Amino acid sequence: MDLKRLVRTIPDYPKPGIMFRDITTLLRDPGGFRRAVDELVQPFAGSGITKVAGIEARGFILGGAVAHQLSVGFVPIRKKGKLPWQTIGVEYELEYGTDEVEIHIDSLDKGDRILIVDDLIATGGTAVASIELIREGGGEVVGCSFVIDLPDIGGRARLEEMKVPVRTLMAFEGE
């Protein structure tokens, strides 16, 4: 099964020149969704993962399924101000300004081995901040799994510079 054919490309969204890679078409396909989850898990099976952390919002869908398959807990990584209890956060740079991701202060236990999951790696800003957040919270990042890599933008290289193994299922050229 070619998972790449299940991803819809929407030109000029959210702004002109961007080719948006929409995984909702992959998620609606039962076989495609199952295979994507299996392939996100496969390289990390047996590596002692204790929790999966999913980056808002599509990372919740994929990460929840990955956590279920690994029989481990799930940690939502959310934008600042979205979690209802006490949090820790890490700020990161955007093209114009900054943003912040957070987790609840009790999301991790010291020494937790975490797999971070999201739909796409582009610049890597949110993923880098998520790695820093997990480390600050006392966890060890075992790896990151993404459905899509946009290699021309360089995010994967940023994670690998942080000594974090990266799993992607497909790549698209351009933005």
* HEC-encoded secondary structure of 106-147: CCCCCCCEEEEEEEEECCCHHHHHHHHHHHHCCCEEEEEEEE
Residues with a catalytic annotation lie at 58, 95
Selection from 142, 171, 173 nearest residue 66 by Cα: 142
Q: Length of the chain in residues, anyone?
A: 175
Residue 164 structure tokens: 């974090």
Return the ∠ at Cα 150 (arms to 125 and 119), rounded to 5°: 70
Q: What is the dihedral of CA 131, 155, 47, 37, to 10 degrees?
A: 110
* Residue 136, both tokens: 């600050």
- Which segments within the chain are labelled E, that is strand? 8-11, 19-22, 51-55, 73-79, 87-94, 97-104, 113-121, 140-149, 166-171
